Amino acid sequence: MTTPYMQGQAVSPGHPGGSNWNNGVGASSTTPLALKDETGTLTSRNRDLGGLQVVGGPNHGQPGNVRMMRGYLDTSSTSVTSLTVEGLVSNTYDVYVYADGDNRTFARTAAYTISGPGFSAAVTVTDPARVNFSGTFAQAANSTGNYVKFRITDTGFTISAKPLSSGNTALRAPINGFQIVAAGVQA
């Protein structure tokens, strides 16, 4: 199964949109996955995945943003999803992390953290009950929403998603995708 991190070569999903998204196969990787940049050129950048489940959501078959948001990497009630990106050109980046699970009638809240040598930032996202991605992005800043935005200046980072609370006993922290954009690119 293809993980939903970055999908859609013929479309420009994301907020802001971007082409040449990278797909990963499976829920974890012991070998770093080489990444292509926005021009489609293979780079020395790579991504490691760990501790993930691949889950299919209710949005099927539509291209672009809906396809990216239809499935996600998920946690259990007690696990933490993490992924690492290394080998970026030293620069300032905006990192978008997309999060929308199929939580049915239960609101769920999770903490999303980005960290690296000398920096760490966290934002909570509440995925409201009975709300699946409708085509509109809503930035969460310790509030409801379906993506978070971090600004970093470095050559790599680790993103972690940790479930915090739920309207039922099943805690979750989905990651539908992530996007690395040079700082200053407007949405």
> Can you tell me the distance from the alpha carbon of 165 to that of 77, in angstroms, rounded to the nearest whole number?
9
What is the percent of the chain where pLDDT is above 70? 65
Q: How many CB atoms lie within 10 A of CB 113?
A: 19
**pLDDT tens per residue across span 68-89:** 777 777 788 888 988 888 888 8
**pLDDT tens per residue across span 157-173:** 999 999 999 988 889 98
For 75-106, letters b (16+ CB in 10 Å) and e give beeebbbbbbbbebeeeebbbbbbbbbbbeeb
Outline where the chain has alpha helix (H). 65-69
pLDDT at 37 over 50: yes
Question: Which residues sit opposite 161 in a β-bridge?
Answer: 81, 112
pTM: 0.81
Measured CA angle at 56 (ends 52, 57), to 5 deg: 120
**pLDDT tens per residue across span 135-145:** 889 999 999 99
Q: Is 3.30.70 the CATH number for 33-182? A: no
pLDDT at residue 12 in the model: 59
